[in-house]
Structure 1
Amino acid sequence: GPVRTGASGFAPLEVNSPMARWKLPQSAEWVNGAHSRFSFPNWQSGNDDSVYYNLNIPEFFNTRVVRPDEEFSVLERAIQGDLMNLTFTDHEGNTTQTLAEYLVGPKQVQAMLMAHQGKVVFEVYPGMNPLDMHVWMSASKTTAGLLVAMLADAGTVDLDQPLSSYVEELKGSAWDDITVKNTMNMATALNNEETFANLTNPESWIANWFSAVFGVGDVTPTQWREMMKTVEKLDSEKPGELFRYSTSNTQALVMLTEAVTGMNWQDYWHQQVWSKIGARSPLIVGLTPDGMPVGGGLINTTPEDMIRYAMLYTPSWNVVSSENVVPQRLLDMIFNMGNPDAYTASTERTYGTQWFGEVPLKNTAQWDHAFADGAMFKHGNMGQGIYVDPGRDFCGMYFGLASNDTSLTGIDHSPGYLRAAAKALAGK
């Protein structure tokens, strides 16, 4: 017979989730209907159409395929099924349900992987096949942040210079007064925050910018760029004072990376990171209408390739790469960039506290939440996430698809389970 290679000791855990139906093809009639119903609100709804869109982003957006290396890194499995019994104390002081119960609940988790000391210790696919692609949503932002941190580490970019000093087309705009560092930390003092109120207000700058960046509705291909120049400063605060979350800040970092390197973002990403981790499958990134990667949200990979990327931030990086892509000094730069004071009054701090059941220290360099022990987490819209915990030599990821409305689907506790697992496995 043919000689085949694959994952080492691949034996994912099984749960009986209603989401299992997404492992099978949907009927042509239903898929055609989902296409006809595609709109920004429907995509964001968490309904069945929305599940399909997020498993099949390349059907709905122009994309670029970023090839993997010729050989993939083999991740050994050392599955610890007793992690299914994990619980943690939530933000109200109550014990959560077990992870096994949570995985089949209303948050509609589709995949979850955890690795400790370079081995996959937990792997489950309640709502997708192991080699299906899924969108990262805002977990993508860590990639844009990493490339800018690399440029700063190399001395090519000065974090204390205005962002517009590197991006010609943003000169003469609000970005003249916003440093690269404040853009990395999402403390730009611009009226571009992604609050629920702003996103659902068709008059807001950010709602209109999203329509432009995703090419939804009556927009020109370059409209999102023109809008980057017209975003207004907030009267009441200065850059650096408050963490206000916005994908437009991340897109400014993508613009910076292309301007400084003279390369397409996806080619620089391939050169610096993707070609070095032994990815098994391609990475697919969605593009703006005029062809620039949406580095803040439209990266798609398999779950296993996402955990390979996460492992770069842990001491077990050498399991996936022959080169230390995120050396300690770069990890320190990323972790130390954020300011706890700017985090304290932020909306995101409340989310982080609800997700983990403990209060994180700060946000930093495109990561939503960082802890005093060095762990960092980035969330993605409707239930995606990446957690790296260098001190415990642990990393984890999850994909899912559920409405952001917690009154319908409850709090996203996946982050808390990942952190609880890290503590249990490391014994601290």
Structure 2
Amino acid sequence: MNKMKYLALLVMGPTLAFGGQESHVKNENMTKTDVHEEIYISKITDVTTPISKAKESFPLNFTQDVSKKFSTPNWQSAGDHGVFVNLNIPKFINVDIAMPTHDIRNLKRAINPDLKEITFTQEDGSETPKLEEYLGNDYNRVQAIIMAHKGKVVFEAYPGMNPSDFHVWMSASKTTVGTLCVLLESEGKMDLDKSIPFYAPELKGTAWDKVSVKNALNMASGLDLEETTAAFSDPNSWIEKFFASLFSQKEGGQWLDVLKNVQAIDGEEPGERFRYSTAITQALTMAIEGATGQTYKDVFNEKVWSKLGVQNQFMVGLTSDGTAVGGGLVNTTIEDALKYAMMFTPSWNVVSEQRVITPKVLERIRTLGDPAAYVGSEEEAYSLEWTGEKAERNSAQWDHIWADGGMFKHGNMHQGIYTDPERDFAAFVFSTSPNERSDKMPGYMRAVAKKVAGK
């Protein structure tokens, strides 16, 4: 089975509550069998097969059923219901919204028909199918992919959504949090060597006291909060409790109490080992808000979104107490997402009047992580599995940084952002694919970047 990384618990955990839906939370006496009986998990059926059906309106009785049976485990199991939720986040989760402020920068097209033939060499030495075949195979459940070189779109496909549709970024959202922290550092508003509680005083007196912003950015907290298959299979694990509280409308903000109660790992210091967790990004979101006295949405809008010639709004999902889930619930159209990715490339001026990601900021983002902490991690293994090339490090909330400067961040159900400044290339992908299916889109993105740049 492919190693799995989730934004939230899929099958073994409680039914979580959004928008007033009833919450079926396990008690200590419930067995795993009981849990399975409590949770409805939608399958992949002819409602969304082929995935192109998601381009049309869904039947009324289906949409009503999704609302009635909505839960985080059902949503993120990536069945029929998951497709609908990913395209309609504001129907299920309260969102904060930033509207466009600048004239639209319409991207020019220079479509290269040869790119549909691209393949890449996998970890085992075999060659992948051609990109066109991968996108046309409904097993992969890719909904949209867009790629740009030197400021022009060179490839785009919409197997399962319309270009104007909104879609959730999942953990590709985490790059926004990492970017904001480095931007705040460049402005003298955040010291990455300070502890998380220095900026998020709600966490003072807890295990977070020993975790610097830098170590949090690099997912090396030294805390027992890693998102692993084993942890998600244990109903009493800390990470299960965190996700249940983070998204439950009935919990009234108790996610913060759970965040305060996380414990340090015996014998492990912060900075020593990469351990992926959305809880870390949530703590960073709090630190951003504490350092600025503004909401995450307002900070991101001020420093990034308002600088872009986007066509549509930026939305981010909120917890029950109104705190942004900056590490997973960003929601935009795919072309606007690509414009964000292009800010990391030399073609930033195609989408913005201001260079937000300066060479100094970019270098800081790419080199903040410690390669030694990355060795032997699940993310290192993912980089090889997904692209056939082992990455050098993770850094500033990006999962994979290669020695040539290519950067990738993955999201649950196979979302992804890839930016390659040296090749002046950027790409974004949306998908609703079960996590146990191996994701090859990162490899195709990287192969296309090399092809169009000639290196």
Instruction: Report the TM-score range of the alignment, normalised by the length of the smaller protein.
Output: over 0.9
Aligned amino acid, residue 239 of structure 2: I
Query: Is 1:148 equivalent to 2:181 in the alignment?
Result: yes
Local SS of the residue matching 1:83: helix
- Of 151, 164, 181, 2:197 maps to 164
State the one-letter code of the partner of 2:67: H
Which residue number corresponds to residue 316 of structure 1?
347
Amino acid at match of 2:330: I
1:329 aligned residue: 360
Match of 2:101 among 69, 83, 100: 69
Q: Does 1:23 align with 2:79?
A: no
Q: Which residue of 2 aligns with 1:424?
A: 451
The aligned amino acid for 1:41 is P
Alpha-carbon separation, structure 2, partners of 1:295 and 1:201: 26
Paired residue for 1:9? none
Between the aligned partners of 2:167 and 2:119, the Cα distance in structure 1 is 26
* Alpha-carbon distance in 2 for matches of 1:101, 1:207: 37
The answer on whether the counterparts of 1:89 and 1:96 sit within 8 Å (CA) in structure 2 is yes
Residues 1:127 and 2:160 are matched in the alignment:
yes
Structure 2 partner of 1:8: none
Matches within 5 A, 1:163-202: 163-202=196-235
1:12 paired residue number: none
Conserved 8 A contact 1:140-1:296: yes
Instruction: Please give the alpha-carbon distance, in whole angstroms, between the structure 1 residues aligned to 2:234 and 2:309.
Output: 43
Is the partner of 2:85 in helix, strand or coil?
Answer: helix
| Structure 1 residue ranges without an equivalent (≥5) | 1-16
Q: Which residue of the partner structure matches residue 378 of structure 1?
A: 409
The reply to whether residue 293 of structure 1 matches residue 320 of structure 2 is: no
SS at 1:52 equivalent: helix
SS of equivalent to 1:103? helix
Q: Which residue of 2 aligns with 1:108?
A: 141
TM-score (normalizing by structure 2): 0.88
Q: Is the aligned partner of 1:215 residue 2:263?
A: no
Take 2:228 and 2:103, find their aligned partners in 1: how far apart are those partners? 42
State how far apart, in whole Å, the 1-side matches of 2:234 and 2:315 are: 30
Residues 166 and 256 of structure 1 are in contact (CA less than 8 Å); yes or no, is this contact kept in structure 2?
yes
Q: Which 4+ residue blocks in structure 1 deviate beyond 3 angstroms?
A: none
- TM normalised by structure 1 equals 0.93
Q: CA deviation at 1:104?
A: 2.1
Counterparts of 2:165 and 2:414 in 1: how far apart (Å)? Answer: 17
SS at match of 1:399: strand
Residue 160 of structure 1 aligns to which amino acid in structure 2?
D
* 2:309 alignment partner in structure 1: 278
RMSD: 1.0
Worse-superposed segment, 100-109 or 372-381:
100-109
Distance 2:347 2:421 in 1: 9
Contact between 1:107 and 1:383, CA under 8 Å: does it hold in 2? no
Q: Which amino acid aligns with 2:224?
A: N
Partner of 2:39: none
Quote the sequence identity (%): 50
The residue aligned with 1:413 is 440
Amino acid paired to 1:326 = I
| Offset at residue 126 of structure 1 (A) | 0.5
Q: CA deviation at 1:309?
A: 0.1
Match of 1:261 in 2: 292
Instruction: State the one-letter code of the partner of 1:183.
Output: A
Distance in 1, Cα, partners of 2:233 & 2:150: 43
Distance of aligned partners of 1:135 and 1:205 in 2 relative to their CA distance in 1, 3 Å threshold: same
- Please give the secondary structure, in 1, of the residue aligned with 2:346: coil
> 1:69 and 1:161 mapped to 2: Cα distance?
34
Query: How much has 1:70 moved relative to structure 2?
Result: 4.0
**What amino acid does structure 2 have at the position aligned with 1:416?**
G
- 1:7 equivalent in structure 2: none
Task: Using the TM superposition, give the Cα deviation of residue 156 of structure 1 relative to its aligned residue in structure 2, in angstroms.
Answer: 1.6
Cα distance in 1 between the residues matched to 2:127 and 2:446: 15
Instruction: Figure out how many residues of one structure are paired with residues of the other and give that number.
Output: 406
CA distance in 2, matches of 1:327, 1:281: 25
Task: Encode CA deviations 1:347-378: one digit per residue, 9 max, x unaligned.
Answer: 11111110111100000000000001111100
- The Cα offsets for residues 271-327 of structure 1, whole Å up to 9 and x where unpaired, read as 100011111010111001100110000000000001000000000000000100100
Tell me if the contact between 1:56 and 1:134 (Cα under 8 Å) persists in the aligned partners.
yes
Shift of 1:201: 2.2
* C-alpha distance in 1 between matches for 2:64 and 2:231: 31
Q: Map 1:22-61 onto structure 2 (within 5 A).
A: 22-61=54-93
Distance in 2 of aligned mates of 1:235 and 1:207: 20
Structure 2's unaligned 5+ residue stretches are 1-48
Question: What displacement does 1:107 show?
Answer: 1.7
Map of 2:392 onto structure 1: 361
